Amino acid sequence: MSAATEAFLAMLAAERGASANTLAAYRRDLAQAEEAIGDLAAADRDAVARLAQAWGALAPASVARKASAIRQFFGFAIDEGWRADDPSGALPAPRARRPLPKVLGHADIAALFARAELEAAGEEPQAVRTLALIELLYGSGLRASELVGLPLVAVPRDAPFLTIAGKGGTTRLVPVGARALAALSRWLAVRPGAPASRYLFPSKGKVPHLTRVRLFQLLKALAVRAGLDPARISPHVLRHAFATHLLEGGADLRVLQTLLGHADISTTQIYTHVDAARLVALVNSRHPLATRATSD
């Protein structure tokens, strides 16, 4: 990668507090763009326009993400005085349709937890860990990266809250229900690596804590044992279920935004689609005109 793009990534880390995953995504997109058209800091409008052809086989969402990264880079280059023009107008601008979240029904959740609880009954450490993991995913709506990287000091002591370091270095308090607290207590009682590891879910591998990939694998395997389609289960799906089921239960959208750690309410609003049926039923049953007979 060019020195200019490296400087841009350093700025994202230092000034915007971008996470390691975010930086990796930016690095990949910018490196691929430079492989196609050369040094971005010196690329002219015609060169930038050629990216449309290079991205021709990609999904609209992928093109939109890559274009966003390059636009931000050009803005940074102008601010730094490396160039006077902004050729990003030549970038393709597809309308990426935000996919609706996969949703698990209450019966699926019940089956998943029933299996996890049955396996954890013998207090075998790995089974108890799996139960604690799904309790926090579904009970508190944590992101996979937030969950696996939880330090021991984040575990609630006097108050039922987790202190979560989210995207961009932001910190939020997430409530932990009685079930999740009980699962955490069981896990702490059998957790290996104490007190050497500072992480709640330590690992024996090169990474000091459980990885997102391993978490994904554990959930897939649990789904199979619970008789569920593993393709429908992932850490993010359980986070979606947390949000969806809270909204169904009457949670306020702003409260949900805070719990999920969304910077923009528009990100949270995607969950309102799942509540459409309940809202229609509410109007039909509670609206003053609902009790009036229709005229022929």
Query: Catalytic annotation on 236?
Result: yes
CB 259 within 8 A of CB 155: no
Q: Could you tell me which of 135, 30, 51 has the C-alpha nearest to residue 93?
A: 51
Given the residues 66, 115, 209, 239, the one annotated as active site: 239
Given the residues 27, 214, 220, 236, the one annotated as active site: 236
Question: Looking at the DSSP assignment, which residues form a beta bridge with residue 202?
Answer: 209
Query: Catalytic annotation on 83?
Result: no
Query: Catalytic annotation on 199?
Result: no
> How far, CA to CA in Å, does 259 sit from each of 61, 109, 266?
26, 20, 14
Neighbours of 174 (CB within 10 A): 22
Query: Catalytic annotation on 167?
Result: yes
Residue 48 sits at φ, ψ, to 5 deg, of -60, -40
> How far, CA to CA in Å, does 4 sit from each of 8, 31, 79, 166, 218?
6, 11, 12, 28, 41
Given the residues 115, 129, 143, 245, the one annotated as active site: 143
For residue 104, give the 3-state DSSP assignment. coil
Q: What is the DSSP string of 119-163?
A: HHTT--HHHHHHHHHHHHHHHH---HHHHHT-BGGGS-SSSSEEE
Given the residues 167, 179, 212, 220, the one annotated as active site: 167
Which residues are known catalytic residues? 143, 167, 236, 239, 262, 271
